[in-house]
Structure 1
Amino acid sequence: MTGVEAAPPPGDELPEIIAALATTLTNLISGLLLVPVYIVAIRSFVGKKRSHIPDDYIFRRIGRATISAYLAGFLMLFIVVCVFVAPFVPLYWMVGTVDGLMLLGVVLIAVLLSVILTAFVWICFLFINHTIAVEDAGPISALRMSWSLTQGHRVRLFILAFFLAVVQSVITSPTALLPDPLGFFVMLPLTSLLTILSLAIFARAYVAIHPEKGAIRQRLST
């Protein structure tokens, strides 16, 4: 016994790297494939097409809209991460100078501020996919338009989003008590149904607060 653990054989490291790359690639591809589905769903809910989905909703600039939504999602993720981390940055200089209950209080304030700012930014960019799907906005324009569109409505939108999150949690949480794989097969349709319901509700909210309610539906047919 030398006290030094032997390094894993080189052949064992390669499969782990390949598995990690494969998982990352799978997530990226699946996310990319889901984006056009969300775009078509948003167009259908905004256009109030319940019996069928018009061809224009499926094929109209779907490639451009998919790329724009994907890029806007990355930009939003970057902004959210920066906002989430920002309140904790001052703690770096406080370590060693503040201790005890004061340090605990500062940490709690940083956590609370981080949660509030993250929720605020998420609400501000709630309609980036809607502006891309309906108004053919680019990534930067979608962020700017969503920010402007939510002004004056952010508190109500937050309450709506919080309520939907609570409802989804209450409905899906009991499935965790079911044995596998039964819990998975029960949770999957419930989650899908609640996701569709949320998309429909937020699409209606988008139309309700939009200053050009009639015009946005006409754009879907042009």
Structure 2
Amino acid sequence: MTDGFERTTTRNGLRFVAVFAILSIASVLLSPMRLDTGEPVAPTVGIAGAFAGLLSIVVAIATVVAAIVALRTFAAGETETIPDAFVRRNVGWATLNVILGGIAFALLVAFGTVLFVVPGLFLLVSLYYWAVFVAVEDQNALEGFRSSWQLTRGNRLRLFGLGVAVFVTGAVVTAAFALPVALLGIVGGVLAQVVSAAITVYVLATTVSAYDQLRDGGPGERPDTQPTVPGTPA
């Protein structure tokens, strides 16, 4: 968690906070919600509504791309600049796999949770790192699930504890800003998006930190695949 915080506060980490904040604000502005109060507003209709919907999809895809680039940057240990290769390399294929894999991941965890809470949590921890393999190692979603399953073997209880600690940290930070957000109107709404973006980047940075430790020196069985593309951990 400390390493995730250090990565978040680097120049690149702060750049990603700004990017996610801008995308989050854009998403709110395009949705039928008020930025200052969170209350619904009258939906736009016709051409304007269709255009706003299209822009919302673009913003959502851009957010996925930003997450992929952030994972690659954190995994490569880049703190000052973001290499162009991280933005260009197979980004369309990676984005498609992250979107489809995200849907499959959510359905698997939801199904396990409906059956019984423990299977859902087990799948959540076991498959959580699939997106890192997609973004960093150019695997497809199915390969990412398999690699994550192997990576987390023998460490799932501790990884669950890490997930709980990160979740609690995010909740505490959000609660700490709840009063200013409520009192500052539209400025508070913007502040809320910035705080949310910082938490998102921290989660990504902590995820990569745990991934690095498990692959490079952590206990437990390591996956059979090894990174073969530039900008990934050796």
Q: TM-score, normalised by structure 2?
A: 0.67
> Which residue, 199, 202, 209 being the options, matches 2:204?
199
User: 2:87: which partner in 1?
Assistant: 58
> Which residue, 135, 150, 153 being the options, matches 1:151?
153
With over 3 angstroms needed to count, the CA separation of the structure-2 counterparts of 1:124 and 1:26, relative to structure 1, is farther
Output the CA distance in 1 between the equivalents of 2:178 and 2:48.
27
What is the CA deviation profile of residues 81-123 of structure 1, one whole-angstrom value per residue up to 9, with x for unaligned ones?
A: 211222xxxxxxxxxxxxxxxxxxxxxxxxxx42x32222111
CA contact (8 A) 1:46 1:203 kept: yes
Structure 1 residue 50: deviation in Å? 0.7
Structure 1 residue 29: deviation in Å? 4.2
Structure 1 residue 44: deviation in Å? 0.4
CA contact (8 A) 1:57 1:220 kept: no
Q: TM-score, normalised by structure 1?
A: 0.70
Output the CA distance in 2 between the equivalents of 1:19 and 1:76.
34
Percent identity at matched positions? Answer: 27
Output the CA distance in 1 between the equivalents of 2:49 and 2:202.
34
> Which residue, 188, 195, 202 being the options, matches 1:190?
195
CA contact (8 A) 2:126 2:156 kept: yes
Structure 1 residue 77: deviation in Å? 1.5
Q: Which stretches in structure 1 are left out of the alignment for 5+ residues? A: 1-14, 87-112
User: 1:171: which partner in 2?
Assistant: 173
With over 3 angstroms needed to count, the CA separation of the structure-2 counterparts of 1:59 and 1:173, relative to structure 1, is same
User: 1:35: which partner in 2?
Assistant: 64
Letter in structure 2 aligned against 1:155: L
Equivalent residue pairs, number: 179
Larger radius of gyration: 1
Output the CA distance in 1 between the equivalents of 2:196 and 2:94.
25
Letter in structure 2 aligned against 1:81: A
Higher helix share: 1
Higher relative contact order by CA 8 Å / sep ≥ 6: 1 or 2?
2
Structure 1 residue 182: deviation in Å? 4.0
Structure 2 residue 74 is the aligned partner of structure 1 residue 69: no
Letter in structure 2 aligned against 1:195: T
Structure 1 residue 126: deviation in Å? 1.1
Structure 1 residue 197: deviation in Å? 1.8
With over 3 angstroms needed to count, the CA separation of the structure-2 counterparts of 1:181 and 1:44, relative to structure 1, is same
